[in-house]
Amino acid sequence: MLRRLTAALLAVLALPSCGLAWSVTDQGGRTLSLAAPPRRIVSLVPSVTETLYAIGAQDLLVGVTDFCDYPPAARSKPSVGGMLAPSLETIVALKPDLVVVTTAGNREETFVQLERLRIPIYVVNPARVVDVLDLIARLGVVTGHESAASRLIASLDTRIKAVTARVRPLGRPRVLYVLWPDPLIVPGRGALVAELLALAGADLVTADLAEAYPRMSLEAAIARAPDVIILASHGSEQGRLARDKWERFSQLPAVKAGRLHTTDGSLLHRYGPRMVDGLERLARLLHPEVGSDPNSLNSSGRAAHR
């Protein structure tokens, strides 16, 4: 079903416009009309940068942010600064014909300033796993790499289905996932990482919270008595300090059972292809028995752990 929907989406997105301009619709529902397909792209979104490399469209990238650190080759691209306050002067100097922006990480002020400078922006805003696959398809169309995007989507879809099939008959531990330690930020039911945890076989103890990424007191988190605690790491030292903070609560079921884990936050908080790497890692943390079979999460027969 997903492959048929993807094929239909690619066909619709690739339809030529009625006039001479090249047209495409972004994830915000905005239709952009350019004189020609973009050949100079600035990405203000790390996950978009990753995706463009994954589909072989990196040669179109002329600028990235300081946070676009994967793959390592992305660091060699000219930087326009941070996501919140990129240098407009640098962006203009790069002469882009398209700037990719996100509603989750870039400021609206940046959108307005770019539009005032008559630099076209392409808005992305995936909130669910299916939206991530949709974004890959759209970027394939934008860059003329539709076939590579379609192959990548099919591969990711196969791996996602392998995870869900493997964990379906297993138990569902109650999990506390910590996005950020101080202030304590957790995923609510609207967060993409909450969906990934559910796919990996978890019952998220904060899934009842309506906000996507709410703050929570330490006392409230402890009161939920999770079976497993997973801490998102944003650097080696930060990860160690975060573990020390939780290890002192020795009566918590997760700590008592030795089920306090740290995982790479960049795999689960960025909506690029490595999201599925993060999903596979979550499945192994939640269900150690899965790790005993290197073929269980990947139908190609290779070990999926990275």
120: exposed, middle or buried (Cβ count in 10 Å: 0-12, 13-18, 19+):
middle
Tell me: do 137 and 205 sit in the same domain: no
Query: Hey, how many other C-beta atoms are within 10 angstroms of the C-beta on 227?
Result: 20
What's residue 17's pLDDT?
42
Q: Considering the domain boundaries, does residue 63 fall inside one?
A: yes
Average of per-residue pLDDT across 206-235: 92
Amino acid at 30: R
Query: Residue 298 domain-assigned?
Result: no
| Beta-carbon count within 10 A of 243 CB | 16
pLDDT at position 21, please?
Answer: 79
Residue 284 to residues 173, 232, 297: CA-CA distances in angstroms?
12, 15, 9
- Residue 243 and residue 119 share a domain: no
Question: Which range among 18-22, 141-145, 207-211 shows the weakest confidence by mean pLDDT?
Answer: 18-22
Q: Are residues 125 and 175 in the same domain?
A: no
pLDDT tens track for 60-99: 999 999 999 999 999 999 999 999 999 999 999 999 999 9
Is 180 among the domain residues?
yes
Tokens coding 87 = 């240098």
Dihedral sign computed on CA atoms, order 111, 112, 114, 118:
positive
Spatial separation of the C-alpha atoms in residues 38 and 227, rounded to whole Å: 49
At residue 201 the predicted structure's pLDDT band, cuts being 50, 70 and 90, is very high
Say yes or no: 278 and 180 in one domain: yes
In whole numbers, what is the pLDDT of the chain averaged over residues? 87
Domain of residue 198, residue span: 171-292
Query: Are residue 200 and residue 282 in the same domain, yes or no?
Result: yes
In this prediction, residue 5 carries a pLDDT of 46
Residues 11 and 115 in one domain: yes
DSSP secondary structure string for all residues of 259-302: -EEEEEHHHHHS-STTHHHHHHHHHHHH-GGGGG-TTTT-TTSS
In this structure, what CATH number is given to the domain that contains residue 118? 3.40.50.1980
Residues 23 and 146 in one domain: yes
pLDDT, average across residues 235-253: 75
Query: Residue 32 corresponds to which tokens in the numbers above?
Result: 């952009």
Residue 186 lies in a domain: yes
Angle between helices 2-13 and 129-143 (to 10 degrees): 40
Domain count, the chain: 2
Residue 184 forms part of a structural domain: yes
- For residue 162, being part of any structural domain is answered with no
The 10s digit of each residue's pLDDT in 103-161 is: 888 888 999 999 999 999 999 989 999 999 999 999 999 999 999 999 999 999 999 99
Share of the chain above pLDDT 70, in %: 86
Q: List beta partners, residue 152.
A: none
pLDDT of residue 243: 81
With 0-12 CB in 10 A as exposed, 13-18 as middle and 19+ as buried, what is 267? buried
The pLDDT tens digits for 26-63 are: 998 999 999 999 999 999 999 999 999 999 999 999 99
pLDDT at residue 218 tops 90: yes
Together in a domain, 146 and 186: no
If asked whether residues 185 and 264 sit together in one domain, one would say yes
pTM of the model: 0.86
The phi and psi torsions of 182 (rounded to 5 degrees) equal -150, 105
d(CA 229, CA 302): 28
34 and 149 part of one domain: yes
Same domain? 134 vs 204: no
Q: Map residue 154 onto helix, strand or coil.
A: helix
User: Could you tell me the pLDDT band of residue 233, with boundaries at 50, 70 and 90?
Assistant: confident
200: closest CA among 290, 130, 134, 135? 290
Q: Does the residue 30 lie in any domain? A: yes
Contacts (Cβ under 8 Å, ≥6 apart) of 182: none
Q: What is the pLDDT of residue 257?
A: 94
- The verdict on 28 and 124 lying in the same domain is yes
Q: How far apart are CA 243 and CA 228, in angstroms?
A: 13
Task: Report DSSP state, residue 215.
Answer: B
